[in-house]
Amino acid sequence: MLIARDVRIEVGPRILLEGASFSLQPGDKVGLVGRNGTGKTTLMRTLVGYRSPAAGSILRSGNLGYFSQEAALPDLEHPDATALERILAAREIGALQRRIEDARRKIERLEGERRDRAIRNHARLQDQFEARGGFVAEAEAKRTAASLGIGNDELSQPVATMSGGQRRRVELARILFAETEVMLLDEPTNHLDLDAKTWLMGYLGDYRGALLVVSHDLPLLDEAITSVLSLEHGEIDAFRGNYSHFLTERDRRREQRQRERKHQDEKIAQLEATVARFKGTTEKMARKAKTMQTRADRIKRELVEVRGRGKSVAVRFPQPEPSGRTPLKAEGLAKSYGDNLVFVDVDFDLDRSERLLIMGLNGAGKTTLLRILAGVETPDLGEVDVGYNASLGYYAQEHEQIKPGISVFDHMREVSDQPDPILRTLLGHFLLGDKVDQDAGTLSGGEKTKLALCRLVVSRPNVLLLDEPTNNLDPQAKEALVEALRVYQGTIVLVSHDTDFVADLHPDRVMMMPDGDVDYFDESLLELVAMA
């Protein structure tokens, strides 16, 4: 159970939320919605206890699980903890499993009485493991992981060596495995393929605890939730029903407020016109005018607030200088991490203004390939040739270029020598104008996405390397990005699970990873986009 009473949340001088009261009871499945930057992630972090409210109180009871949209390396019980150990740690089984393995190794090294003590200790640990249902729990953890697209090879991989997307899937599996009474999930479908999303929707539909979820994945919100909390203009409004019902009801309430406000404005105008006509006439009419002015003043104090729909993101990529005919070429690329061979012998070349979609299952090396093309990582074999007059712009899905401790405005100065007023205006187009002095590390996922895109715009590249650019974006911002890329005349290399986004961009060719096979794109492949 979770209860919030009169909660106020502040970030610096800004008030993100004022006077919010709501509760999560067993069986409640609530979607928290609002545009990027309204404070959804900050509210989630406050509810879970990572930060304190400026006013009000939050009551928590039961085992609470929080899934963050960030992919930062979690605090591990052991620096070499594997993905399976991390998941099992949710029930304090992973650490016990490692102690059992350490005890077994000690038995092999010791002799005599010390070996006998080690054997007894190993047997005691085994008994504890079985008493906690360790073998059954391990099988359950593996099933949960597999349902989220985590294969056996990944389960044995150390978490510290995993990509951000892999870590997020592991953390989601850990939260679902933890047997919580309350779950707070912030963008849980990022990095999930279609099968994993479908499984997650079913899991959340059957979940008996209290659920609060932030997601821009509309099917998830429609199928998994029974009510909505809308965070807008610093206030929380509650709606019964799923996301589709919320959209209809929100518009109905807005229209009703507009009608009420119009009636109030007309009544005030009528009263004040009468006051102006009677004022200064006879004493009797002057008293009537005073009474009417009092009524008009009372209506003014009780005016229905009609909220605007909010500002819209404006994205526009300046048309870049043309590159050479082949802006990017790769020959014989290979990459591995320890014993994990990601891909080998990948070759391709790009034509100027071409749009190449990179597809493949999770773990096939899509992000790794983009990082190599961007120069962030070095291939084990092969080389990347950046062509004549080609300038690369890389959007990383984990926002590696957004560094904590550096302000939003200083992030812009890193990539542009444009005058400050121009940079401030550009940030305003991305709805970051009021956050220029804010630590970029404290931005929400959607705001970090906007800042990363804003940096791309101002750097004017003629080759865009985009890794899941629509993750964390609200629908309006996503549509603005689509429109900007439609008219962009440079070269694009794209990784995306977003079927609608890919369809709107009309790729020319597709590369299937990890084999690196390249072919022409046709619409029949759209069915595979969400699954790859």
Please give the CATH superfamily to which domain 1-62+181-261 belongs: P-loop containing nucleotide triphosphate hydrolases (3.40.50.300)
Distance (Å, whole) CA 9 – CA 522: 48
Name the β-bridge partners of 228: 31, 239
Kindly state the helix (H) or strand (E) to which residue 240 belongs, with its residue range: strand 235-240
Average pLDDT, the chain: 85
The more confident residue out of 228 and 219 is 228
* The pLDDT value given to residue 124: 79
Distance (Å, whole) CA 283 – CA 394: 77
* The pLDDT value given to residue 372: 95
CATH 3.40.50.300 domain span(s) along the chain: 1-62+181-261, 328-529
Answer yes or no: is pLDDT of 312 > 80: no
Please report which residue ranges of 22-131 form alpha helices under DSSP H. 40-48, 83-88, 94-109, 112-131
Structure confidence by residue, pLDDT tens digits, 337-350: 777 788 999 999 99
Structure confidence by residue, pLDDT tens digits, 362-389: 778 898 999 999 999 999 999 999 999 9
- pTM across the whole model: 0.70
Which residues 6+ apart lie within 8 Å of 504 measured at CB? Answer: 482, 486
The stretch 413-430 carries a mean pLDDT of 87
The more confident residue out of 315 and 494 is 494
Indicate the pLDDT class of residue 307, thresholds 50, 70 and 90. Answer: low
Answer yes or no: is pLDDT of 309 > 60: no
Name the β-bridge partners of 466: 395, 494
Distance (Å, whole) CA 267 – CA 491: 59
Structure confidence by residue, pLDDT tens digits, 92-136: 676 667 777 777 777 878 777 888 787 887 777 777 776 666 667
| CATH number of the structural domain 328-529 | 3.40.50.300
Of 82-86, 97-101, 243-247, 428-432, give the lowest mean pLDDT range.
97-101
The stretch 235-258 carries a mean pLDDT of 85
Indicate the pLDDT class of residue 490, thresholds 50, 70 and 90. Answer: very high
Which residues 6+ apart lie within 8 Å of 530 measured at CB? Answer: 193, 194, 197, 497, 498, 499
The more confident residue out of 308 and 243 is 243
